[in-house]
């Protein structure tokens, strides 16, 4: 099922949905363009994929009216798809459909959040090696180490953390399977990541341990944490 290039190696493509408006950041604009460590947040993620020899090409998905992306993407190695939708799932699915003529069913698609600037080529390669030829695919994730509490109308309860992981990105699935999973999802708002759509088909993605530096910048306080990781390089 794995699609091979002319040298017999599997093909890997990066896909970064970047059509969000970043409402929780209260930054007055899309958070993917906020300056972070001397360059726009999105550019850090792009550079990570461009720095990996395993990734054949990178695609970034923005809204049709986005006027900032052209100043962020490099001259080579990245293609902008102006078909972003109302939700993350919509953006990814629109992009997959737009790429139908360029992709093979077995090509691997690595979907990554634009707001995870701490990604590195080493983490990308760890994911690819960890997933290997798994029939489903997989994602970077971190095992939960803190005590977890659930707040309910009747009070507070401790949740057993055994087997709990925090999903990160990239999330890596074959083009055909990912297209099928997202296309079959009944509610785009309920699909918070690509793995959840694949799980809805009754499949179990593989979890590959990531790194805390690959955090998602969601709230203003996250910016400083991300900058600290970026200051320490790889």
Query: For the residues 40-68, what does the mean pLDDT come to?
Result: 97
Phi, psi of 75 (to 5 degrees): -70, -25
Identify how many contiguous H helices and E strands the chain contains and give both numbers: 6, 11
Query: For the residues 123-130, what does the mean pLDDT come to?
Result: 98
- Asked if residue 45 lies in contact with residue 116, where contact means CB atoms within 8 angstroms, the answer is yes
The rounded distance, in Å, linking the Cα atoms of 188 and 90 is 7
**CA-wise closest residue to 216 among 163, 171, 151:** 171
The rounded distance, in Å, linking the Cα atoms of 225 and 222 is 5
Most distant pair of Cα atoms in the chain: their distance: 61
pLDDT at 8 over 90: no
Secondary structure element (H or E) that encloses residue 79, with its range = strand 78-81
| pLDDT reported for residue 30 | 87
The model's pLDDT over 61-75, given as tens digits with 9 standing for 90+, comes to: 999 999 999 999 999
The model's pLDDT over 188-228, given as tens digits with 9 standing for 90+, comes to: 778 889 999 999 999 999 999 999 999 999 989 999 999 99
| pLDDT reported for residue 128 | 98
Domains and CATH numbers, the chain: 12-231 (3.90.550.10)
Q: For 151, which DSSP code? A: E
| pLDDT reported for residue 26 | 47
The rounded distance, in Å, linking the Cα atoms of 199 and 141 is 15
Cβ neighbour number for residue 199 with a 10 Å cutoff: 15
Which of 20-24, 142-146, 180-184 shows the lowest mean pLDDT across its residues? 20-24
State in Å, rounded, how far the first CA of the chain is from the last one: 33
Reduced 3-state DSSP string for 153-211: CCEEEEECCCCCEEEEEEEEEEHHHHHHHHHHCCCHHHCCCHHHHHHCCCCCCEEEECC
pLDDT at 112 over 50: yes
């Amino acid at each position: 099922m794995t699609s091979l290039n002319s040298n017999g190696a599997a093909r890997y493509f990066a896909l970064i949905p970047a059509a969000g408006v970043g409402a929780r950041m209260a930054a007055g604009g899309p958070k993917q363009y906020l300056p972070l460590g001397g360059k726009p947040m999105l550019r850090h993620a792009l550079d990570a994929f461009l720095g990996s020899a395993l990734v054949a090409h990178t695609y970034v998905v923005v809204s049709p009216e986005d006027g900032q992306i052209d100043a962020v993407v490099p001259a080579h190695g990245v293609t902008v798809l102006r078909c972003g939708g109302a939700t993350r799932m919509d953006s990814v699915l629109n992009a997959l459909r737009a790429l139908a003529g360029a992709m093979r069913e077995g090509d691997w698609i690595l979907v990554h959040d634009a707001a995870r600037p701490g990604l590195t080529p080493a983490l990308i390669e760890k994911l690819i090696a960890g997933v290997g030829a798994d029939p489903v695919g997989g994602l970077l994730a971190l095992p939960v180490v803190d005590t977890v509490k659930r707040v309910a109308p009747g009070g507070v309860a401790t949740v057993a953390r055994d087997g709990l992981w925090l999903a990160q990105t990239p999330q890596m699935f074959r083009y055909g399977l990912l297209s099928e999973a997202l296309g079959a999802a009944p509610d785009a708002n309920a699909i918070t990541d690509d793995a959840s759509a694949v799980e809805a088909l009754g499949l179990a993605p593989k979890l590959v341990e990531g790194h805390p530096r690959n955090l998602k910048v969601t709230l203003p306080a996250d910016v400083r944490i991300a900058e600290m990781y970026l200051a320490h390089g790889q």
